[in-house]
């Protein structure tokens, strides 16, 4: 194995004797990232986005780092039930569900005051929750998801999620909830994906960065104005909100500065996958990585690893590939990318000084955060330069929530 002062060279030493492919989590870097999240969130509480972590032990660890980490935002109703069962309080389902069986399961956890909150943006989701609530004798807490995308210069800047845009539409659903004995309004979410999930400091893309930053500035005004108008209107109609949620890793500072927001969400920041290297003002460290073993050397300077085709979701593009990071200077082949079973990594013939053998490892970062844990049963955890154990991922728990 290569000896090096570089952190990944050290990981290789710390993980010596283990079998690759393996995933590694550096807790010192994760803690620094957690501090950056808290700093950027101002004084506001931070809800942890489980989709970007997908490991119970990591969720527990992050939750204990500060009392300002309050509550989880999960992505599936079955996951919400599993997390409530595992002892987590204040679990917000970040996305709507039409799964009647899952709602029946969740009814068990909706009896207690703040256990699980459902997300809704339309009548059909509320009616289903109401029916199940009536059957199960439960009263579901509801969060209304308000669309925060902007229409600028004929461009839809944002994501296609909630149809709920106006004060009137939101009040109508809030009134429906008020009249139902099986539902109660607990919060509002206005997630500004175009601020939180669009990079604006991409190397070599000066023109695009300028355009994106301009769009973000314009959209920012629209978001703050619309979100606060909706929150004020709900309050004026006598709806008491326990929280107004917004944001994500890429928008923490912006979202926290919005007076109408009471809490921000962050998930990706903790692992800091490759896509989050390119946001102005974010100071995060790559806490999660994975190693693949070289199993073939088809040509001098090209090392073919086992595994690696862990391409991230979202609009397909080169930025969604895993990024080889150690030894440095490795690139994926344009014609092969990251393969289903085999991933060749090329090093420049001269200059890189890299000479690997079969059995050596190449380290990578995933482009996104939580998707890494869908590929590995456990994370090898390093702290203070020492491997302190292995923590199970959702996959290792036998959990698969889609």
Ligand X SMILES: Cc1ncc(COP(=O)(O)O)c(C=O)c1O
Instruction: State the residues that interact with ligand X by CB under 6 A.
Output: 49, 52, 73, 94, 191, 196-197, 248-249, 265-269, 369
Look at residues 188, 362, 373, 338 and name the one whose alpha carbon lies nearest to residue 268: 373
Q: State which residue has the least CB distance to ligand X.
A: 248
Contact of 285 with 295, CB cutoff 8 Å? no
- Rounded Cα–Cα distance for residues 115 and 90 (Å): 5
Burial of 256 (0-12, 13-18, 19+ CB in 10 A): buried
Least distance to ligand X from the beta carbon of 237, Å?
A: 24
> How distant, in Å, are the alpha carbons of 161, 268, 276 from that of 256?
22, 17, 18
Q: How far is the CB of 266 from ligand X (least distance, A)?
A: 5
Q: Shortest Cβ distance from residue 32 to ligand X (Å)?
A: 16
Element (H, E) at 124: helix 123-136
Q: How far is the CB of 322 from ligand X (least distance, A)?
A: 17
* Cβ proximity to ligand X, 194 vs 249, nearer residue: 249
Q: Measured from the CB of residue 284, what is the shortest distance to ligand X in angstroms?
A: 11
Of the pair 50, 110, the CB lying nearest ligand X is at 50
Contact criterion met (CB below 8 Å) for 241 and 235? yes
Which is closer to ligand X, CB of 49 or CB of 373? 49
Nearer to ligand X, 25 or 345 (CB): 25
Smallest gap from residue 370 Cβ to ligand X (A): 7
| 3-state class (DSSP) for residue 267 | coil
Nearer to ligand X, 267 or 286 (CB): 267
Q: Of 328, 304, 390, nearest to 57 (Cα)? A: 390
CB nearer to ligand X: give 102 or 196: 196
Alpha carbon distance 53, 56 (integer Å): 8
């Amino acid at each position: 194995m290569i000896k090096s002062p570089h952190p990944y060279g050290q990981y290789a030493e710390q993980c010596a004797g283990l079998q690759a492919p393996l995933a590694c989590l550096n807790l010192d870097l994760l803690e620094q990232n957690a501090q950056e999240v808290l700093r950027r969130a101002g004084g506001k509480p931070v809800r942890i986005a489980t989709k970007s972590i997908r490991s119970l032990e990591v969720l527990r660890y992050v939750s204990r780092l500060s009392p300002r980490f309050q509550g989880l935002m999960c992505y599936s109703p079955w996951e919400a039930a599993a997390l409530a069962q595992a002892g987590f309080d204040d679990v917000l389902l970040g996305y709507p569900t039409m799964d009647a069986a899952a709602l029946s399961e969740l009814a068990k956890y909706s009896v207690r005051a703040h256990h699980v909150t459902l997300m809704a943006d339309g009548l059909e989701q509320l009616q289903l929750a109401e029916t199940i609530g009536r059957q199960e004798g439960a009263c579901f807490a509801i969060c209304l998801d308000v669309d925060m995308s902007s229409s600028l210069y004929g461009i839809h800047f944002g994501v296609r999620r909630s149809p709920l845009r106006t004060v009137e539409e939101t009040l109508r659903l809030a009134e429906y909830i008020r009249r139902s004995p099986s539902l109660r309004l607990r919060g509002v979410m206005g997630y500004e994906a175009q601020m939180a999930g669009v990079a604006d400091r991409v190397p070599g893309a000066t023109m695009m960065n300028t355009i994106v930053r301009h769009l973000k500035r314009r959209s920012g005004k629209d978001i703050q104005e619309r979100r606060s108008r909706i929150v004020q209107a709900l309050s004026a109609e006598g709806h008491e909100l326990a929280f107004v949620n917004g944001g994500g890793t890429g928008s923490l500072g912006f979202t926290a500065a919005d007076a109408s927001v009471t809490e921000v969400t962050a998930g990706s920041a903790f692992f800091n996958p490759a896509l989050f290297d390119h946001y102005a003002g974010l100071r995060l460290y790559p806490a999660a990585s994975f190693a693949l073993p070289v199993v073939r050397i088809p040509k001098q300077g090209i090392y073919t690893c086992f595994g690696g085709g862990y391409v991230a979701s979202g609009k397909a593009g080169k930025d969604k590939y895993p990024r080889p990071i150690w030894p440095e200077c490795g690139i994926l082949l344009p014609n092969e990318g990251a393969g289903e079973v085999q991933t060749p990594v090329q090093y420049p013939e001269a200059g890189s000084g890299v000479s690997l053998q079969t059995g050596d490892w190449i380290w990578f970062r995933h482009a996104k955060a939580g998707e890494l844990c869908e590929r590995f049963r456990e994370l090898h955890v390093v702290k203070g330069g020492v491997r302190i154990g292995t923590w199970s991922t959702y996959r290792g728990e036998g959990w698969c929530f889609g």
